[in-house]
Chains A and B, each alone.
Chain A
Amino acid sequence: MNKRVTKRKFLVPLHRLLPYVISSSLIAALLLIMSTTVDSATFVIYDAHSTAYPQPPPLVLLDPQSPNVNVVLGPNNTWANVTVKATTAYTEITKNGGFDTSPNGWLYGYAVYSGNSVIAAYWNQTYSYLAPGATGVVLLYMRLYGTGFFNRVNSSVYLVQNVTMPNTPLGSIELNVTYFSNYTTASIASLTSYSVFAELIASNGSVVWGGSITVTTTLNSWNNATFTIPTTSVVPGETYTLLVGANAYGVTINLPWSSYISNITVLQFFDSIRLYVKPLYPAFSGAILAINVTSGTYDVGVSVESLNVVGAGSSNVTLYVANLSGGVSSPINVTSNTLVSGSTSSVIMTVPPPGYSSGLVHLSTAIYSTNIVNILLKLRYSVGGVTVTYPVNLTIIDPPAKQASPPHSARSHQHGTTEHVNRDEGLIVRLLLSGKMQKLGLIRLQRWRG
């Protein structure tokens, strides 16, 4: 009996469970509805379409054909790899140092220290009388004389040109002169000294350097002379006056019973006068890219994407953009391997006249001799709301082969033999009469202080 009662104790009629089932279902449904509400979102969707019509580039890159610049252009001329060789080679800073086609750029001056002197200067393009085949020779003429019985005579005549030192630390300065010296004496006269001299004079009139070579043992032959000028004598970027000429000193005697005037005549020829400078660090200055616009007008500039300097030495880079009409951008500037200014301003470029480029990218750099400077540039051009960029990879290197001495003119090297001239001042007269000589202009300078 008890056992049956116990069994019935666990039996629950189904109708008693129904309220619990219904209530549980309602709670579950409510939770489901609540969760759906929490995660629900409203989405609004708009359509958009774009069509691009690609076209050929209206601005292209070109090789400016600059010395020491190697330009590799990509297809379509829309990228470039530029390698610049910064060198420590000598660079001539004199203009028209060979007098090849004219004496342009040169004037002459003179000084008379004692006695009297007749001074003149001439240029001859085909002076075959002295050096067959040579062209462009300058003659400095000087006739020294006195009117008394015993005369000390001393005069000099020289060529003049202003030269500007590069604005970078200099490693060396050399002056190379190719000259031919000759003199004659008339009556009782003697030449005591005869020299070819050179000077550098600062803008304040002070002589910062001077040198001379005695030529009495090398008369009547073409000779090369190299003067080494200490770099401490000059200031980079400053302008100096270069004098190169002849100085003669002697004695003339006029006898009382003769009216003949004793004299000394000097004929000093120059085939070339070249002043070379060598930068202390490898350097380059010039155009590295040309830009040509084929349609439209654009604002053009350059910016640095990355800079990498290999080597511990200090390197400096200045880069800017210039247009055909002379507009120049602000520069990109790398100072001591650090990017100081990473972008140029923009300059306007448009379609150029035939034979010209729309603009140029200029580089001025001096790098430490073991450094390699790599700059990834982006040349940009823009109009309206669009900007196009072309990659330009610029590498500045110091090539291993360096020029050890200043390059002498090929023609100067031809002068190794002695050629005699008629020791007669009538030579000048004959050349003048034959129309082969052109008299140089005169410039008045301070007196040469020998």
Chain B
Amino acid sequence: MQTGPSFGWKHALALLAIAAVASVAFASVFVYYPGSVTAYYQAPPVVWAAGDNTNATDIGGQTIEVNVGPNATELTVSVHPTYEYTYYKNITIINNTDTANGYYIAIRVTQAANISSIAGAEVKLILSNATSTEVIDLSVTGTSTWYYLPAGSHVNVDIEYYLPSGVKLPNSIVFSIQLIYSPTNTEAPPATV
């Protein structure tokens, strides 16, 4: 009694032939070596920290609001600039708490300041210590060059706004950046994270 389709030796031979051809076409050699990765989490050696003027008085009776977040690995800033040049000095610092190792830091502008509609307007971030200054244009996206932060040192962070007289003041000016640091400066940081 036949309960299904017949499956004779001819069919088996055909499948074997197909498998043989496929084996030739996709054949690979896999060699496996044993390996393991262990991550040892540690406190961040480079952190945001309060500057001399964190949460200091802003113009017009406002406050320079600076929050470095938990673990000091996030930063949010709220300020109140006006016409012409408004310079917020040392509102936060980038602090290398590692007293044995220096690090290279860079600033990546991931969201440019929304001032493209205001002719001549500028927003800049200034990194400075006693010997060097790095000015980063926050009106365009991009990544700055490396800035060396010696062991146990810090760099001051300033922000400057320029709003030409006569323009209509926007409701807000927003920008987002990333602080990138690395033990070496031999390679560019990854394009995206």
Question: Footprint of A on B, CB under 8 Å?
Answer: 44, 46, 48, 51-54, 56-62, 64, 73-91, 108, 110, 123, 159, 161, 163, 165-166, 169-184, 186-187, 189-190, 193
Nearest A-chain residue to B187, judged by Cβ: A41
Contact between A48 and B77, CB atoms less than 8 A apart:
yes
Contacting pair A50 B77 (CB below 8 A): yes
- Chain A residues within an 8 Å CB radius of B56: 384-386
Q: For A57, give its contact among B75, B82, B171 (CB under 8 Å).
A: B82
User: Does A383 lie within 8 Å of B184, measured CB to CB?
Assistant: no
Closest Cβ–Cβ distance, residue A209 to chain B (whole Å): 53
Known: A48-B74, A58-B59, A386-B79. A75 touches B186 (CB 8 A): no
Whether B170 and A48, one on each chain, are in contact in the complex, defined by CB atoms closer than 8 angstroms, is no
Verify B174–A388 contact, CB threshold 8 A. Answer: no
When distances are taken between beta carbons in the complex, the residues of chain A under 8 Å from B193 are: 45
Give chain A's interface residues, CB within 8 Å of chain B: 39-58, 74-76, 78-79, 295-296, 298, 383-391
| Chain A interface, >50% SS class | mixed
Chain B proximity of A448: nearest CB distance (Å): 62
28 CB contacts below 8 A, A to B, read A41-B184, A42-B182, A42-B183, A43-B181, A45-B178, A45-B179, A46-B179, A47-B176, A48-B75, A51-B79, A54-B163, A54-B169, A54-B172, A58-B60, A79-B84, A295-B60, A383-B59, A385-B51, A385-B58, A385-B64, A385-B88, A386-B58, A386-B88, A387-B87, A387-B89, A388-B82, A389-B84, A389-B87
* Cβ-defined partner of A44 (8 Å) among B62, B123, B180: B180
Q: Using Cβ atoms and an 8 Å threshold, which residues of chain A touch B61?
A: 295-296
Given contacts A57-B82, A295-B60, A385-B56, contact A50 B76 (CB under 8 A): yes
Among B59, B166, B172, B181, point to the contact of A76 (Cβ < 8 A). B166
Given the interface contacts A42-B182, A78-B165, A388-B82, does A49 sit within 8 Å of B190 by beta carbon?
no
Contacting residue for B86 out of A74, A75, A388, CB 8 A: A388
Alpha-carbon distance A78/B182, docked complex (angstroms):
43
Q: Which residues of A contact B173 (CB under 8 A)?
A: 51-52, 54
**Separation of A388 and B87 alpha carbons in the complex (Å):** 6
Contact A49–B76 (Cβ < 8 Å): yes
